[in-house]
Amino acid sequence: MKNCFHTFLSVFAILSMLLSACGQIQSVIPGGTVTISIVYGSEKQQWLDPLVKQFNDANNKTPGGKVIVVQATAMGSIESVRGIMDGSLQPTVWSPASSIYIPVANAEWKKTHPDDLVTGTPKDLVLSPVVIAMWRPMAQALGWPGKALGWADIAQLATSADGWKAYNHPEWGQFKFGHTHPAYSNSGIVSIIAEAYAGLKKQRGLTVADLQAPELMKFMSDVESSVIHYGTSTGFFAERMFGNGPSYLSAAVMYENLIVAQETKRIDGQSTQIPVVAIYPKEGTFWSNHPYVVLNAPWVTADQKEAAGVFQNFLLDKPQQLKALELGFRPSDPSIPLSSPLDSQHGADPSQPQTILEIPSASVIDGIQNLWKQAKKPVDLIVVMDISGSMGGDKITTARSSLMSFVQKLDDRDRLEIDLFSSDISILTPLTEVGAKRQQVLDSVSGIFEGGDTRLYDATLQAYENLQKNGNPKHIRAVVVLTDGQDTASTNTLDAINTQINAASGEGGNAIKIFTIAFGDGADKDVLKKIAEPTGGKEYDSSPANIQKIYDDIATFF
Amino acid sequence: MAALLFPTVRAVAYAPLRELILPPPAAVTITLLYSTEKEAWLKEVIPQFESSGATVDGHPLKIQLEAMGSWEINEAVLSGTRKPVMVSPASALQIAALQDASTAQFGKGLVNPADIASCRSVLKTPLVLVAWKERADVLWGQQPSASLWRNIHDALVNPQGWATYNHPDWGYIKFGHTDPLKSNSGFMTILLMTYGYHDKTSNLTTSDILKDNDFQKWFLETEMSIGQFENSTGPLMQKMISYGPSTFDFVAVYEATAIEQSDNAVGRYGELRVYYPPALLWSDHPFCVLNADWVTPQETQAARLFIDYLTSQPAQNLALQKYGFRPVEPTIKLEQPGSPFDRYAANGFKADISSLPEVEIPAGNVLNTLRDFWARNVTR
C-alpha cells in the first residue's frame, strides 16, 4: 500500500512537472503566443513601462488561449506618425499623447490606402491638460493666481524688450520660453496651434485663409523669439526645465502631469528647485488624452486585435488607473475622483481648464506647421568635425553622410559654419545662411577625408569664440562637436573652454549650447560631458551604426 | 426531427424514469439582436428567465444575444446578413423605419407594432440634456423654454460664445450628441431639433426637411458647431464627466445614462444637472418578434414568453432600481424610497414629466429622409 502511495506521488510529481513545463513552453512556442507592439507618446512612459512588465509577467491570454506578449516603445507622438507612414514602424497599437494629430494621420494614410488608419473613436487611457509650466514666483509676478493668464500674456512677455524688468524683477533677465519641436512632439504641435488661435484672437473656426493674415506671422515670430530651443519630447523638456532651474527657462508648454510629478519630487525632497505651477491658458487649451488606437493597417492580424483589446482592458482597470493618478494623470475612468496629488499643493487646479480650443482640420494644421517654419527662431550653428587619421574607414564615411543629411534638415534662414580639425583647423564653410549655399556645402562635405592629429580643445574653443563674436544672440546658437579620440595636439585645455562657458552663464537658457558626439570607443566621454552639460547641451555616445540618429536628435533642438 | 420526436416520447414515459433514460429536450433558441444601452440589465435578467421553468411544448428556452447599434440591426435584417427571431433597438423609431423599409423591399412588414403580444415597449427612458448647472443657469435658467432648440442654435453659432453672457473664460459654447447614423440618442436629438425648429410636435414631413432652405441652414449650422460625434451614448456621458465643462457645456443623452453616471460626477467639476426638453422623445426599447419565414411558430411563442418575463414586476423593478430605466409595468412607483428618482431628485431628475408633450414618431420615410440628409451633409 505504502509502495503504491509512493508510486502515485512520483507519478503525480512527474505529471505536475510536465504540466508546469508545458505551461512555460507554451509561452515561448511561437504558435502559443501573440505579440503586440505598441508605440506610445513618451509622456506616459513612467506609467506604462512597469505595467507592460506586470502584464507580460502574468502570462495573460487572448480569449482564444494564446499568451499575449506586449512590446512597448516610447517615442515622440508626431515622430511616430512619420514612422508609420514611411513603413519603418508597423505597430499593432499607436497611443500618441493626444487625438489632435489623428485627422492628419488619416489624411496622409488615405493617400495610399482605401480606409482610415484610425477608425471609430478610440478609448482614452489617461488625461492631462496642456498647460504652461511656470516657476511660482514668476507666475505670481504676472498676477497669478488672482489673474487668469494665457497665451497672449506669454506673447506680451516674449516681445517685451525689458523682459522681467517690466514686472519689477530685473534680476530674472529675459523671459525664456520653450516648447517642443512640432515635427516630433504633440505638445509642440499644440503650442503652435494655440499660438495661431491667440494671434488671430479666435478659439475655433480656424481656416487656411486665416493663416494668411500678416499679423499672425508677426505674432508667431514674436512668441518664437523667446524660445531658447526646441526638443524631441515633452518629458525631455520637463527634465531640462526642472533640472536647470529658472535661469535656464522661465516657462514651457507641457502637460499638467509633469508638473504634478515634479512637485511630488520637490515635496519629497528629491528636487531642490523652487515650486512650479500649471497655468491653464485663459483662451483655452487642448487635452492630452492618450488615445489607444488599434491600427486599421494590413499588418495587424485578427489575433493581435484581440490581444490588443485584452491589454486595453487591463490598462483601463481601476488599479492601473489609480496608479496613473498617483503619477499626476487624470484617470479616464470617471468613477475615480480627482484627488491628491491633483491639487494646488502640487501646482495643479483640478477645476481647470474652463475651456478648450477647437481641433483644426488636417489642412489647417499643415498650414500652421508651414507658417511656424517661417516664424521659428533661426539657428546659428557651427559643426566642428574631427578628421584625424583615426577617423578612417566606416567612421569618415558615415560621419560624412550623416552630416549631409543633417545639413538637408536645416532651414534656408539658418546659418551654418563647418570647421574641420586634425593637426590643423580649417573652415569648410563660414557662418552664413544655408539657403544660398546648401548644394555647395553638400558637395564640400562629400569630399572630406581623414589624416593627422586631434586638436579637440583648440577647435572647440575657436568655434565657441567665433559664435560668441559673430552669432546673433536672437538666434538659437549651438556648436556640435564630433570626435573619435582624445585631444593630442591642442595648446588650449579643457579648463580654458569651461572658463569661457562659465563667463556666459548669465545668459541662462539663451547661452550657446555645445552638443558633443563621442564617435566610437576612443573618445573621452567624461571630457565631452564636461564640455556639453554646463551649456545646456548634451553628450551623445555614438558609432557609425547610430550617428544618423544622433544628428536627427540634435536637429530637434532647432 | 429528433427535437420534435423526443417531447412526445417524454410525455408518455414514466415521470421518475424519463429524466434518467431520455436525453434532455433540445432548447428553443431565441436569437436576439439588441442595442447595448440595456445590456447590463438583459445579462442579469436572461439567466433568471432561462432557469424560470418556462417552456414551449416541453422545450426549455434559451436566449442567444448579439449586440448591435440600433440602426445596424435594421441594416443586418434588411440585408439578410442576420436572421434573428427577435430585434430590440433602442426606440420605436427604428421599428417604424424597419416596417417602412421591409414593406418596400419585401412587400410585407417584418415587424408589426400593432400586435402588442409580439412587439411592444419593455423599458422607457426619455432623451434629456445634461449640463453643468452653473452654465445652464446662465443659458436657460431652471427649465429650458419652449424655444430651447432655437436658443441652443443661436448660442452655438454666436462667435462671441460665453463672452456674450459675461463669461469669456468659458470660451465658445460646446454641445455634444452622438453620431445619428450609429447611435439612437444622436438620431433622437436631431429629430427633436427638427421638430423644435418647425415648432410642432406632430405631422413632420419630408418637405419639412428637404424643401425648407432656412431649416437646412439652421440645422447644418448647429451640427457643424459640434466637434466630434461619439459612436455611443455611454462614452459620451463618460467624456462629459472626465473632461468637464472645458469640453462640453451640455450633452444630449438618455435619462438612464445620466442616472448611471450621477455618482461619478460628484465632487469633480461642479454640479451636473439634468434638464427635460420642451417636448419629449422616448427611447422605449421595443422587443419585436419578426414576421419572417425563418421564424417558426415555436420560436414566436417562446419570444412572446420572453417579452412577458421582461415586463414582469421583478425584472421591471430591477431595471428601475439598478439601471435607472422607467418601467412599463404601471404598478411600480418611480419615486419609491431609494429609487434613482428619489436619490437624485436634487440633480433635476423628475419622476413625473407627464406635463411635457411628446413628439409623434414620424412615418418611416420621414425618419429615413432625415438620416440621409444628415449623412450627406454632416459626416466628416
For residues A45 and A53, give the distance between their C-alpha atoms in angstroms, rounded to a whole number. 12
Chain A nearest C-alpha distance from B194 (Å): 24
Question: Domains in chain B, please, with CATH?
Answer: 2-122+285-327 (3.40.190.10), 125-283+344-377 (3.40.190.10)
- Given this model, what pLDDT does residue B266 score? 87
- Given this model, what pLDDT does residue B231 score? 85
Number of domains in chain A: 3
Q: For residue range A312-359, what is the model confidence (pLDDT) as tens digits? A: 999 999 999 999 999 999 999 999 999 999 999 999 999 999 999 999
Question: Domain for residue A250, yes or no?
Answer: yes
Confidence of residue A236 (pLDDT cuts 50, 70, 90): confident
Say if strands B123-132 and B326-327 run parallel, antiparallel, or are unpaired: antiparallel
- Given this model, what pLDDT does residue B4 score? 45
Nearest one of B192, B145, B190, B136 to B165, comparing CA atoms: B136
Burial letters B109-146, b for 16+ CB under 10 A, else e: bbbbbeeeebbbbbbbbbbbbbbbeebbebbbeeebee
**Do residues A137 and A254 both lie within one domain?**
yes
**Do residues A348 and A388 both lie within one domain?**
no
Confidence of residue A44 (pLDDT cuts 50, 70, 90): very high
List the single residue in B with minimal CA-CA distance to A349.
B269
Q: Indicate yes or no: CB of B171 within 8 angstroms of CB of A355.
A: yes
Cβ contacts from A onto B, under 8 A: 68
Question: Domain for residue A10, yes or no?
Answer: no
- Given this model, what pLDDT does residue A28 score? 47
CATH of the domain at A541: 3.40.50.410
Candidates A127, A285, A351; nearest CB to B242: A127
**Do residues A349 and A282 both lie within one domain?**
yes
Separation of first and last alpha carbons in chain B: 53
Question: Domain for residue A15, yes or no?
Answer: no
Q: Indicate yes or no: CB of A356 within 8 angstroms of CB of B247.
A: yes
Residues of B in contact with A355 (CB under 8 A): 162, 169-172, 174, 245-246
Chain B interface with A: residues with Cβ < 8 Å: 159, 161-162, 169-172, 174, 227-228, 230-231, 235, 238, 241-247, 261, 263-265, 267-270
**Do residues A314 and A269 both lie within one domain?**
no
Nearest one of B4, B342, B284, B306 to B127, comparing CA atoms: B284
Percent of chain A residues topping a pLDDT of 70: 94
Q: Indicate yes or no: CB of A355 within 8 angstroms of CB of B243.
A: no
CATH of the domain at A84: 3.40.190.10
Question: Domain for residue A137, yes or no?
Answer: yes
Q: Where are the beta strands (DSSP E) in A389-508?
A: 415-421, 425-433, 476-483
| B293-297 contacts at long range (C-beta below 8 A, 24 or more positions apart) | B294/B83, B295/B85
Neighbours of B187 (CB within 10 A): 28
pLDDT at position A25 over 50: no
**CA B153 to chain CA mean position, Å:** 24
Confidence of residue A12 (pLDDT cuts 50, 70, 90): very low
A7-21, A116-130, A252-266: which range is least confident on average?
A7-21
Confidence of residue B5 (pLDDT cuts 50, 70, 90): very low
Question: Domain for residue A336, yes or no?
Answer: no
Candidates B228, B246, B263; nearest CB to A355: B246
**Do residues A439 and A457 both lie within one domain?**
yes
Residue A278: its H or E element: strand A276-279
> Average pLDDT, whole number, for chain A?
90
For residues B159 and A524, give the distance between their C-alpha atoms in angstroms, rounded to a whole number. 61
For residues B49 and B53, give the distance between their C-alpha atoms in angstroms, rounded to a whole number. 8
A285-294, A301-310, A519-528, B355-364: which range is least confident on average?
A519-528
Cell readout for B359 is 413628439
Tell me if residue A178 falls in helix, strand or coil: strand
Instruction: Give phi and psi for B272, each to the nearest 5.
Output: -105, 135
Instruction: Give phi and psi for B109, each to the nearest 5.
Output: -75, 135
- Given this model, what pLDDT does residue A61 score? 95
Instruction: Give phi and psi for A73, each to the nearest 5.
Output: -130, 125
Tell me the average pLDDT across B216-243: 93
How many residues are listed for chain A in this entry? 558
**Do residues A414 and A538 both lie within one domain?**
yes
pLDDT at position B24 over 90: no
**Do residues A461 and A496 both lie within one domain?**
yes
Confidence of residue A7 (pLDDT cuts 50, 70, 90): low
Cell readout for A326 is 498617483
Cα torsion through A17, A18, A19, A25, rounded to 10: 110
Tell me the average pLDDT across A536-545: 88
How many residues are listed for chain B in this entry? 380
CA angle B113, B114, B120 (to 5 degrees): 50
For residues B291 and B55, give the distance between their C-alpha atoms in angstroms, rounded to a whole number. 21
Query: What is the span of the domain harbouring residue A73?
Result: 20-125+291-331
B124-138, B272-286, B366-380: which range is least confident on average?
B366-380
- Given this model, what pLDDT does residue B16 score? 59
Question: Domain for residue A164, yes or no?
Answer: yes
For residues B365 and B206, give the distance between their C-alpha atoms in angstroms, rounded to a whole number. 8
Look up cell 505595467; give the residue: A51
Percent of chain B residues topping a pLDDT of 70: 94
Tell me the average pLDDT across A462-478: 93
- Given this model, what pLDDT does residue A233 score? 84
pLDDT at position B340 over 80: yes
Tell me the average pLDDT across B271-283: 96
- Supply the ipTM of this predicted assembly: 0.84
Residues of A in contact with B174 (CB under 8 A): 355-356
What is the pTM (predicted TM-score) of this model?
0.87
Q: Indicate yes or no: CB of A334 within 8 angstroms of CB of B230.
A: no
Nearest one of A434, A459, A451 to A384, comparing CA atoms: A459
Q: Indicate yes or no: CB of B246 within 8 angstroms of CB of A335.
A: no
Q: Are B133 and B271 in contact (CB under 8 A)?
A: yes
Can you list the alpha helix ranges (DSSP code H) found in A123-185?
Answer: 136-141, 151-159
For residues A111 and B146, give the distance between their C-alpha atoms in angstroms, rounded to a whole number. 48
**HSE of A510, CA atoms in CB hemisphere, 13 A:** 21
Helices (H) and strands (E) in chain B, counts: 16, 12
**Do residues A363 and A240 both lie within one domain?**
yes
Q: For residue range A407-426, what is the model confidence (pLDDT) as tens digits? A: 998 999 999 999 999 999 99
Chain A nearest C-alpha distance from B373 (Å): 21
Sign of the torsion formed by the C-alpha atoms of A27, A29, A33 and A37: positive
More confident site: A526 or A159: A526
- Given this model, what pLDDT does residue B17 score? 62
Rg over alpha carbons for chain B, rounded to the nearest Å, is 23
List the single residue in A with minimal CA-CA distance to B234.
A334
Q: Are A300 and A34 in contact (CB under 8 A)?
A: no
Q: For residue range A119-158, what is the model confidence (pLDDT) as tens digits? A: 988 999 999 999 999 999 999 999 999 999 998 898 888 8
Confidence of residue A553 (pLDDT cuts 50, 70, 90): confident
Q: Which of A303, A331, A359 is the last residue of a domain?
A: A331
Cell readout for B195 is 421638430
Percent of chain A residues topping a pLDDT of 90: 70
Question: Domain for residue A546, yes or no?
Answer: yes
**Do residues A351 and A477 both lie within one domain?**
no
| A308-313 contacts at long range (C-beta below 8 A, 24 or more positions apart) | A308/A36, A308/A92, A308/A93, A310/A60, A310/A61, A310/A62, A310/A63, A310/A68, A311/A36, A311/A38, A311/A55, A311/A60, A311/A68, A311/A70, A311/A93, A312/A123
Chain A nearest C-alpha distance from B138 (Å): 15
- Of the residues B167, B177, B238, B243, the best mutation for testing chain A's interface (the one with the most A CB atoms within 10 Å of its CB) is B243
Question: Domain for residue A213, yes or no?
Answer: yes
Q: Indicate yes or no: CB of A334 within 8 angstroms of CB of B241.
A: yes
More confident site: A3 or A494: A494
Confidence of residue B285 (pLDDT cuts 50, 70, 90): very high
Peptide bond into A341 cis (omega under 30): yes
**Do residues A283 and A228 both lie within one domain?**
yes
Q: Indicate yes or no: CB of A204 within 8 angstroms of CB of B264.
A: no
- Given this model, what pLDDT does residue B14 score? 60
**Do residues A49 and A176 both lie within one domain?**
no
- Given this model, what pLDDT does residue A22 score? 43
Q: Indicate yes or no: CB of B171 within 8 angstroms of CB of A354.
A: yes
For residues A338 and A376, give the distance between their C-alpha atoms in angstroms, rounded to a whole number. 37
Q: Are A493 and A547 in contact (CB under 8 A)?
A: no
Tell me if residue A517 falls in helix, strand or coil: strand
**Do residues A353 and A385 both lie within one domain?**
no
List the single residue in B with minimal CA-CA distance to A336.
B264
Q: Are A446 and A485 in contact (CB under 8 A)?
A: no
